[in-house]
Chains A and B, each alone.
Chain A
Amino acid sequence: MEAEKKKLIPKSALIKAALNWENWVQTCYNYERMMGQSVVMTFLPVVKHLYPDNKEKQIDVLTRESEFFNVHTEFGSCILGMAISLEEDKAQGADIPNEFITNLKTSLMGPLAGVGDTIYQGVLIPILLALCIDITRAGNGNIWGAILYAVLMIAISYGLSIGNFMFGYNAGGDAIMDFLEKGILNKLLSAASIMGCMVMGGLIVNYVGIKCGLVINASGTMFNLQESLFDAVLPNILPLGATLGIYGLMSYKKWTSIRIILLIVIVSVIGGFFGILA
């Protein structure tokens, strides 16, 4: 029965819609509607299949889809798939109020943006970048890390966005809710956090370069603080301390990154001038 119902939109138009979303989502990003106009772009290829001979109805659909919308591109594409599927049901006479579609879109927007931004920009990209930066800087340097990152990122983004779009179209809003509540994403997130923490630990050692340059003249013998104290107790303790210190300021004192940058510059100027830091 389900399969019989969904016949209005050909597969090619759906894929075109999904690509329109992924391709043009941020080209006109603005404070007023955020991604509202991108939703219109997504609906453009399908709207003529929904109401083939009724321009008035087509205008109605696009007008209500042009409202404020903002989500994480790849994780949120299932909302677009779902909205198209609902509009399709509606076009076939199902009793779906306009507000229902809008409300469902708005209610899914928040959770998916939160999950998407955290997993994508907070976990996936940093881990992938860290590994590819390390490949690039290995030995005398090479270009393969940068190329690997670009290829992987394009593949992941397009694969996830289009797959997720089709999931939303085929499974509908309830399935998206179910998936969010099942906690699969949270489990993935906690496993990825463990891996991410391991990589970040290694990154601190390899790429945060800070040493104490102080040499104390203790009754004729030179006492190099870095070599005789820090390196003897635990090498890299200064980079670890600096990173955790910045983390603490941002996390507990709510410092912005701009303030941290200023702090780093001030500390470096003072430390570098007097030779405390090297």
Chain B
Amino acid sequence: MSIVQALLCGIVYWIAEADIPFVSLWVLQRPLVCGLITGIILGDPVQGAVIGASINLVYLGFISAGGSMPADMALAGILGTAYAITGGLDAQTALAIAVPLGLLGTIVWYLRMTFDSIFVHMMDRQIAAGEFSKIPWTVCVLPELMAGVFCVIPATLAAYFGASYIQPFIEMCQGTPMQIFSVIGGLMPALGIAITLQYIFKGEARLFLFLGFMVATCTHMTLIEQGIVGLLVALLYTQITDKIKAAPAVSAAGAGGAGYDPDYDPDED
């Protein structure tokens, strides 16, 4: 990797992390997208997207709420992809190396969250003085420049030096260590899925996880096809439950008359 390529990786990390308009946290921060961009920088877009996609499996349902950041997926995505392409790693090994990097990266987020307070106090003084035209500089441009210092320098160094050590490191790990990397890489996506399940594996929806599991085990549907089936099943289920709820008197009477309605008239509907 040339120093220019490493610097570009660092800049991508900055753009992904600092919420610059249009690309922001929802888009470039995801390893699927920043993996593709890293791939373009290193001359192999397809490989970049594929490695990024694999790393992204771990971060499917990662939620950053109330200013917390459980893992820095952008750093994991960019460095993991860069190391995989320069070191010729497969997706699972790249994933096993990327996840610890993601944990380290959270330091950058907390540094930013802490030091950004300085600019808020500058803004307070500018409001009081009526200097409104300076506010965009204070709360948009300056914090972004500060974030640039926090992001570009460590990410560039990590990309440049990491890439030159990755090949000897992998050669050293041939045999059992590589096998362990591949087990870690195989297991990690379970974490991403489990985190997502925290939000959707609830109540009546639980059953559908097993339905999806059986459909995928027994058929050769792609995930898109399965997603469409899932959508149809969800609509069907909502329609049926709505119908049952729309006729409460009938079901209540059928369930032993606990909710018996004296005015109930079967001809009413």
Contact = CB atoms under 8 A, between A and B. Distances in A.
A122 B193 contact: no
Contacts, number: 356
Interface in A256-270: 256-258, 260-261, 264-265, 267-269
B107 interface: no
Contacts of B211: 197-198, 201
Nearest to B50: A141
Given A146-B33, A154-B27, A195-B230, A204 B114 contact: no
Interface of B is mostly: helix
Contacts of B32: 129, 132-133, 136, 145-146, 149
Report, as a range, how many residues of chain A touch the other chain: 35 or more
A185 interface: no
Interface in A35-66: 36-38, 40-41, 44, 47, 55, 58-59, 62-63, 66
Interface in B222-248: 222-224, 226-227, 229-231, 233-235, 237-238
B197 A247 contact: yes
B196 A66 contact: no
Interface string B23-44: 1111110101101100100000
A38 B116 CA distance: 12
Interface residues of B, number: 113
A203 interface: yes
B203 interface: yes
Interface of A: 22-34, 36-38, 40-41, 44, 47, 55, 58-59, 62-63, 66, 70, 113, 117-118, 120-123, 125-127, 129-138, 140-143, 145-147, 149-150, 153-154, 157, 187, 190-210, 234-236, 239-240, 242-244, 246-247, 250-251, 256-258, 260-261, 264-265, 267-269, 271-273, 277-278
14 contacts: A37-B120, A58-B130, A121-B65, A126-B196, A131-B227, A153-B27, A198-B209, A199-B226, A203-B60, A236-B213, A239-B190, A257-B70, A258-B70, A272-B179
Interface of B: 18-28, 30, 32-33, 35-36, 39, 45-47, 49-50, 52-54, 56-57, 60-67, 70-71, 92, 99-100, 103, 112-117, 119-120, 123-124, 127-128, 130, 132, 135-136, 139-140, 143-144, 176, 179-180, 182-191, 193-217, 221-224, 226-227, 229-231, 233-235, 237-238
